[in-house]
Chains A and B, each alone.
Chain A
């Protein structure tokens, strides 16, 4: 019974040769021919070097322009400058402490409370 079951499965899954798609003529890979079989790389033959294709654009990208990079450097420098430079400049120190002057309140814009 077991044998019968195995045989039934084998026949059910096996595809008969006549049902397969027609293939090319069988070539024995062990037979040396002048032309290597299809799919076999001929390492001895001179390899063709692909030609480097020069880029061509209808409209050249902006990064190929010198002024793009000049502007980029300028903007970067400006951002760094503004980052390290305080935007609000402080008023200078009090000037009323000279001789013969009694200093009073020293305040106003750019200074703290009087």
Chain B
């Protein structure tokens, strides 16, 4: 076999290998994020705070960079998961897929009151593992609240999400 024939054979075998393997394997990583409200410790979500939760927004960051805008948390098939005064302690489990082959995904949840103030926040993160399901627990805690008077309050959550896209 001459040189060009060898090269042609190698190219053909390589193409056949690529074609045969391109349809194999699931390229996605599936994150199952179980969202609950903290029920112990200093930052527990007490009953009063729980009743103030009006909406829940989830953000997704990949290696510190936001890849999903703030998304209202909903229970399938559609109703919002958080609504005052009936937000459950066990909010539910969301399923997020990514085609990334490496890195770390961080999930942040902001729970706001009717004034739009973030009163409960939680986050969790997990590494990408293609073709596998990564189960994570996200426990949301109460953000320390400071009120200068009855109507003007601020909270100091662990994660500053003011720069994230809504």
Which residue of B is nearest A67, CB measured?
B8
Given contacts A92-B28, A102-B92, contact A111 B73 (CB under 8 A): no
- State which residues 17-58 of B face A: CB under 8 Å: 19, 22-23, 26-28, 30-32, 34-35, 58
**Shortest Cβ-Cβ A-B pairs, 4 listed:** A102-B92, A108-B97, A104-B94, A91-B97
Which residue of B is nearest A105, CB measured?
B94
Q: Could you tell me the distance between the alpha carbons of A107 and B68 in the complex, rounded to whole angstroms? A: 10
Contact B28 A67 (CB under 8 A): no
Contact B28 A101 (CB under 8 A): no
- State which residues 56-79 of B face A: CB under 8 Å: 58, 60, 68, 71, 73-76
Residue with the highest number of chain A CB atoms closer than 10 Å, among B22, B68, B90, B93: B93
Given contacts A74-B12, A96-B94, A110-B99, contact A105 B74 (CB under 8 A): yes
Q: Could you tell me the distance between the alpha carbons of A67 and B11 in the complex, rounded to whole angstroms? A: 11
Q: How far is the CB of B31 from chain A (nearest CB, A)?
A: 8
Q: Which residue of the partner chain, among A70, A94, A111, contacts B76 with CB atoms under 8 Å?
A: A94
Contact A105 B15 (CB under 8 A): no
Q: Could you tell me the distance between the alpha carbons of A14 and B8 in the complex, rounded to whole angstroms? A: 76
Interface residues in A, total, Cβ within 8 A: 27
Q: Could you jot down 28 A-B contacts, CB within 8 Å? A: A67-B9, A78-B19, A89-B26, A89-B27, A91-B99, A92-B28, A92-B97, A95-B95, A95-B133, A101-B92, A101-B93, A102-B81, A102-B91, A102-B93, A104-B75, A104-B92, A104-B95, A105-B95, A106-B95, A106-B96, A107-B68, A107-B71, A108-B60, A109-B99, A109-B100, A110-B28, A110-B99, A114-B71
Q: Which residue of the partner chain, among B19, B34, B88, B100, contacts A81 with CB atoms under 8 Å?
A: B19
Residue with the highest number of chain A CB atoms closer than 10 Å, among B90, B92, B94: B94
Contacts of A81 in B (CB 8 A): 19
Contacts of A59 in B (CB 8 A): none
Q: Which residue of the partner chain, among A78, A91, A96, A104, contacts B81 with CB atoms under 8 Å?
A: A104
Q: How far is the CB of B20 from chain A (nearest CB, A)?
A: 10
In the complex, A33 has a CB within 8 A of chain B:
no
Given contacts A67-B8, A104-B74, contact A111 B97 (CB under 8 A): yes
